[in-house]
Structure 1
């Protein structure tokens, strides 16, 4: 059981360290946000699971606060990341210059009536 607890704690720490590398190394806001949200969410959930197992195994306590905290982080981190990326997109934060596809780009120009044929 100690090795399982150590796995969760060390794995969570490594995932959080990976998030730091994502912030430092990735080129633009969108990819940084993606890397930090994914790895930080998994890292914090792994650390909280390891702490839950530790308290359950060593002290005989069932700390539901840790499980609720992990659940709410799992629920709120992707949503907040999505909202941050949408607000950055609508604030015209430019992606990295090698980004090719932009599916959210909207054509905000008025429709041109000259392209349609005349109707009787």
Structure 2
């Protein structure tokens, strides 16, 4: 495999790992449900997508051709993660899940 493809795969893996790490830290450290929902859905979507893209580039560089299953994984993830996060947020709003005082958009106590 050419050196440029190895560099591209390495950058994609490091980027994906970094985004996944930030999403996991956000899930553990953020104070309320809505904040915790925002961190992982945004960061891990890019993280997992980047790792899957690195896999596509790696196997294409080896001469195995393009992988349809990994491409479908990226498309499915990009379509379903925002929708599921939106549904979770709407359900939490319907149940009037409490937020911390410094959460922006806190309208329950008005």
Equivalent of residue 47 in structure 2, options 36, 43, 55: 43
Counterpart CA distance in 2 for 1:55 and 1:100 is 44
Structure showing greater Rg: 1
Q: TM-score, normalised by structure 2?
A: 0.88
- Determine the structure 2 residue equivalent to 1:76: 80
RMSD (Å) for aligned C-alpha atoms: 1.6
- Determine the structure 2 residue equivalent to 1:116: none
- Determine the structure 2 residue equivalent to 1:60: 64
- Determine the structure 2 residue equivalent to 1:10: 14
Cα deviation for residue 100 of structure 1 reads: 4.8
Counterpart CA distance in 1 for 2:105 and 2:85 is 20
- Alignment gaps of 5+ in structure 2: none
Counterpart CA distance in 1 for 2:57 and 2:35 is 33
Q: TM-score, normalised by structure 1?
A: 0.81
- Alignment gaps of 5+ in structure 1: 108-120
User: SS of the residue aligned with 1:27?
Assistant: coil
Pick the structure with more helix per residue. Answer: 2
Return the structure number with greater relative CO, CA threshold 8 A, min gap 6.
2
